[in-house]
C-alpha cells in the first residue's frame, strides 16, 4: 500500500453551505453542495512505498577458536551487550602436563643451540685471549734476555757458556713462535658457513619454543566489536577440535552500531523500490524515534503467503547513541521513490480529463473556466501541476458523498 507524506499549507475556500453563491454555478443545490473551491498552493510532494518488518543487524560474525582444547570459562550469555575487547570465552589445553614438559625441552634445546653458536663465534674468553697475549709478551722478553746473555758470554765467557746460551736463544725463539701462532689462531674469524648453520639452529629452536608455549597458553576469545551476543554454543568443560580439523562455532555476535530492517512489499509496490533510495524508518515501540536509512537490497525471489506475492527489501541505517533500539523490534519503513520540492499542488479530484488531456476548472472573473494543464507526479491525494496554473489561483474540486452524487459533468 502506498503512503505519502505531504508537507504543504492548503487553503480551502469552501462556501460553508452557500454553494448557491458559486460564480457561474447554475447547478442545483445538491450539485453545488458537492463542490469546493481550493487555492493552488506550493509545497513538497513525496511518494513512498511502505513496508513493515523487524529490526535486525547488517553485520554479524561467528567466532571460533584456532586451536583445540577444553572450554574453561564462559563469560557471556545470549542477549548480553558486550564491548570491543571484552573476554567472551576461554579455552584451556587438554594435556597440560605434557605441554609443560614440551616447553621445558624446547627451552633446553634453545639454550644448547645458543651455547654452540656462541662457542663458534667466540670460542675463547677475554681472559684466555689476555693470557695468550701475555704469553707472547713473556716469550719476547725471555728471547731478548737470552740474546743479551749470548752476546755477553761471547765476549767474556768460555766456549761451553756460549754453546749453552745459544741453545737458550733457540729455545726462546721456538717458545715465541709457538705463543704467536697460538694467539693468531685464537684471533682468527670463525667460519662463516658454520656460523650460519648455527644461527639457523637457534632460529629453529626459538620457533619450536614459541609453538610449545602457544600450545600451553590459555586462548581467550575477545569481542572484535561492540555488539550483542546472539548465541553461545559451548558450555564449560566442552572439548572442541582445532580449527584446522573442524572449526566449531563458539559465539555468534551481532554488530548493533549499524542495523537493518527487512520489510515485506507487495508485488504491486516492488517495481517502485530500488537500491539506494532513501527510507524513513519508524519503530513501533519507540514512536518518537525516526531514523533515516537507505535501501541496500531488493530480493528478486518472491515469498508467497496465502496466495499473496511478497518481496523482501533491506533498509540499513545507523543507530544514534543513547537510543533504546533493540534487535527484533517491529518497525515500518517508507522507501521514497519520488520527491518534489516547492511545486504547485492541487487535489487529485480537481483533475478531469478531456480528449486533449488533463484539465482543471478555474475560477476566473467569478466564472468557471476549463483550462488544460500539464501534470506531474501524484500520490493519490495531491497532484503536481507543471504548467497551466499559477500559485494563488482557485480551482473547483468535487466532493463525493456517501451516495456518490454525480455533481457537475466535468467532475470525475
Question: The cell 614459541 sits on which residue?
Answer: 210
Supply the pLDDT for residue 396: 93
Interval 321-369: pLDDT, tens: 778 888 889 999 999 888 888 999 999 999 999 888 999 999 999 899 9
Please give the share of the chain, as a percent, with pLDDT higher than 70.
87
For the cut 60, the answer to whether the pLDDT of residue 200 exceeds it is yes
- In sequence order, what DSSP letters do the residues of 157-195 get, joined into one string? S-HHHHHHHHHHHHHHHHHHHHHHHHHHHHTSPPPHHHH
**pLDDT, mean over the chain:** 83
> Order of strands, edge to edge, in the sheet holding 219-222?
219-222, 87-92, 69-74, 239-240
- 407 has a pLDDT exceeding 70: no
pLDDT, tens digit, 9 for 90 and up, residues 258-303:
788 999 999 988 898 999 999 999 999 999 888 989 999 999 999 9
User: How far apart are the C-alpha atoms of 153 and 141, rounded to whole Å?
Assistant: 19
**Is the model's pLDDT at 411 over the cut of 80?**
no
Q: Which of 182, 178, 152, 180 is nearest to 164 (CA)?
A: 152
Over range 104-112, report the average pLDDT: 90
**What is residue 122's predicted lDDT score, i.e. its pLDDT?**
79
DSSP letter string over 20-35?
A: GGSTT--S-HHHHHTE
pLDDT band at 70 (very low <50, low <70, confident <90, very high): confident
SS3 217: coil
pLDDT surpassing 80 at residue 402:
no
Sign of CA dihedral 266, 270, 276, 280: negative
Of 70-74, 234-238, 341-345, 398-402, which gets the smallest average pLDDT?
A: 398-402
Region 163-169: mean pLDDT is 92
* Cross-strand bridge partners of residue 336: 48
**Beta carbons within 10 angstroms of residue 77's beta carbon:** 8
| Average pLDDT estimate for 49-75 | 87
Computed over its alpha carbons, how large is the radius of gyration of the chain? Answer: 49
- Of 358 and 22, which is predicted with more confidence? 358
pLDDT of residue 32: 54
pLDDT band with cut points at 50, 70 and 90 for residue 399: low
Taking only the tens place, the pLDDT of each residue in 110-128 is 999 898 888 888 787 888 8
Query: What integer is the mean pLDDT of 167-193?
Result: 88
pLDDT score at 359: 93
Q: In this predicted structure, what is the pLDDT of residue 82?
A: 92
Entry pTM: 0.47
pLDDT value for 319: 81
* The predicted structure's pLDDT at residue 163: 92
Ordered domains of the chain (ranges, CATH): 2-49+340-398 (2.40.420.20), 52-57+255-331 (2.40.30.170), 60-93+218-254 (2.40.50.100)
182: pLDDT confidence band, cut at 50, 70 and 90?
Answer: confident
Distance CA 209, CA 216 (A): 11
CA distance 375 to 388: 9
Question: What pLDDT is attached to residue 22?
Answer: 44
Amino acid at each position: 500500500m502506498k503512503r505519502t507524506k505531504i508537507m504543504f499549507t492548503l487553503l480551502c475556500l469552501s462556501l460553508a453551505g452557500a454553494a448557491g453563491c458559486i460564480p457561474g454555478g447554475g447547478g442545483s443545490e445538491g450539485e453545488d453542495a458537492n463542490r469546493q473551491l481550493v487555492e493552488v498552493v506550493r509545497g513538497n510532494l513525496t511518494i513512498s512505498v511502505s513496508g513493515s518488518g523487524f529490526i535486525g543487524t547488517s553485520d554479524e560474525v561467528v567466532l571460533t577458536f584456532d586451536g583445540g582444547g577444553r572450554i574453561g570459562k564462559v563469560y557471556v550469555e545470549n542477549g548480553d551487550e558486550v564491548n570491543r575487547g571484552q573476554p567472551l570465552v576461554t579455552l584451556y589445553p587438554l594435556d597440560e602436563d605434557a605441554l609443560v614438559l614440551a616447553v621445558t625441552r624446547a627451552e633446553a634445546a634453545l639454550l644448547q643451540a645458543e651455547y654452540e653458536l656462541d662457542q663458534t663465534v667466540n670460542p675463547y674468553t677475554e681472559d684466555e685471549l689476555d693470557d695468550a697475549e701475555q704469553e707472547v709478551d713473556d716469550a719476547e722478553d725471555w728471547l731478548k734476555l737470552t740474546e743479551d746473555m749470548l752476546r755477553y758470554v761471547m765476549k767474556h765467557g768460555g766456549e761451553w757458556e756460549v754453546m749453552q746460551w745459544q741453545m737458550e736463544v733457540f729455545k726462546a725463539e721456538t717458545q715465541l713462535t709457538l705463543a704467536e701462532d697460538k694467539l693468531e689462531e685464537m684471533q682468527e674469524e670463525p667460519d662463516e658457513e658454520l656460523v650460519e648453520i648455527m644461527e639457523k639452529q637457534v632460529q629453529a629452536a626459538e620457533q619450536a619454543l614459541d609453538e610449545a608455549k602457544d600450545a600451553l597458553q590459555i586462548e581467550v576469545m575477545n569481542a572484535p566489536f561492540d555488539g550483542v551476543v546472539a548465541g553461545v554454543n559451548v558450555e564449560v568443560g566442552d572439548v572442541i577440535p582445532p580449527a584446522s580439523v573442524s572449526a566449531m562455532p563458539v559465539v555468534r555476535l551481532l554488530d548493533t552500531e549499524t542495523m537493518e530492517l527487512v520489510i515485506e512489499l507487495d508485488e504491486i509496490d516492488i517495481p517502485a523500490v530500488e537500491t539506494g533510495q532513501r527510507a524513513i524508518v519508524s519503530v513501533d515501540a519507540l514512536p518518537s524515534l525516526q531514523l533515516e536509512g537507505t535501501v541496500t537490497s531488493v530480493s528478486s525471489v518472491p515469498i508467497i503467503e496465502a496466495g499473496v506475492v511478497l518481496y523482501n527489501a533491506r533498509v540499513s541505517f545507523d543507530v544514534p547513541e543513547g537510543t533504546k533500539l533493540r534487535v527484533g523490534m517491529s518497525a515500518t519503513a517508507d522507501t521514497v521513490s519520488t520527491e518534489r520540492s516547492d511545486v504547485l499542488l492541487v487535489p487529485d479530484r480537481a483533475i478531469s480529463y478531456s480528449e486533449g488531456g488533463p484539465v482543471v476548472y478555474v475560477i476566473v472573473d467569478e466564472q468557471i473556466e476549463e483550462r488544460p494543464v500539464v501534470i506531474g507526479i501524484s500520490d493519490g491525494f495531491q497532484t503536481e501541476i507543471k504548467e497551466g496554473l499559477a500559485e494563488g489561483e482557485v480551482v473547483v474540486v468535487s466532493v463525493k458523498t456517501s451516495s456518490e452524487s454525480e455533481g457537475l459533468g466535468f467532475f470525475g
